[in-house]
Amino acid sequence: MAVTVAFLNLIIMFSVVSTSKSLSLNYYSKTCPDVECIVAKAVKDATARDKTVPAALLRMHFHDCFVRGCDASVLLNSKGSNKAEKDGPPNVSLHAFYVIDAAKKALEASCPGVVSCADILALAARDAVFLSGGPTWDVPKGRKDGRTSKASETRQLPAPTFNLSQLRQSFSQRGLSGEDLVALSGGHTLGFSHCSSFKNRIHNFNATHDVDPSLNPSFATKLISICPLKNQAKNAGTSMDPSTTTFDNTYYRLILQQKGLFSSDQVLLDNPDTKNLVAKFATSKKAFYDAFAKSMIKMSSINGGQEVRKDCRVIN
């Protein structure tokens, strides 16, 4: 998630992005009936070789949808003087773009010019969650690919340093509720974080405390050993939760133990509404899975694209 914080131009930008009414579950039933199998195979093959792929694809989809809607703008390469989203600070650690390329190549062989890169990414994120032991859901399809991608707009992504009101604002500007915020934050059950995303909590936290007092002391000590103030190892960091490649509800149990990694994780306890949802999801994996699937459908339906790209990395 983003390292910088800014909400400039959000209102202007989101005037062109809305929850699409044109998506449907059977969008490709006549034009590309095998689309779901083809995408699933690409995700499964890549995951068999690299267990970090599912976390990467889920994060890629989040980061796509939160900037200009789910229009695959995150997949576009920088060109000339235009620095694209994938080269913005929060996105330099995104990876596994090759999985989307592989799915697109197979789809172009099967049904050329039909399936958008945005739909491929939405399907791949769903498959990534399911392959990791998480829920599955029917993905509405029919998104179009965007023609604009700007690194500067990645500052609109919610940052790991955000407080609860900043998170709520970021989500509500995209038509997402407090329950969506808590459910989608559970995506942090997968993956790895570099020190830069949580160092604010373990060094120079504020004028009174060097370490965030809402952080479990033994967990803080562990994080400080991984991310010392000086002589930190290159690419140092830690898994988002101990079951890093398994999609489960451990994330919520850790928050209740004051072992949430990011400030943006721990602040979910700062309000009774969000705290109750954390407790509910920590207790019931089914409640979390149901809410996550529902919120993913909602988030992945924010669309703002115009075309179906032939190559996911470049506009037509």
Which positions are annotated as active-site residues? Answer: 63
85 is in an annotated binding site: yes
Is 189 annotated to bind a ligand? Reply is yes
The token duo for 252 is 């919520």
Tokens describing residue 126: 């769903």
295 is in an annotated binding site: no
Is 270 a known ligand-binding residue? no
Q: Is 211 annotated as a binding residue?
A: no
CA distance 123 to 115: 11
Residue in 241, 240, 243, 238 with CA at minimum distance from that of residue 222: 238
307 is an annotated ligand-binding site residue? no
3-state secondary structure (DSSP) of residue 18: strand
- Euclidean distance between CA atoms 212 and 202, whole angstroms: 6
DSSP 146-181: -S---GGGGGGSPPTT--HHHHHHHHHTTT--HHHH
64 is in an annotated binding site: yes
71 among annotated binding-site residues: yes
Distance between CA atoms of 286 and 5, rounded to whole angstroms? 34
Nearest to 184 by CA among 129, 259, 123: 129
Binding-site entries for heme b: 188
Binding-site entries for substrate: 158
Binding-site entries: 64, 67, 69, 71, 73, 85, 158, 188-189, 241, 244, 248
Binding-site entries for Ca(2+): 64, 67, 69, 71, 73, 85, 189, 241, 244, 248
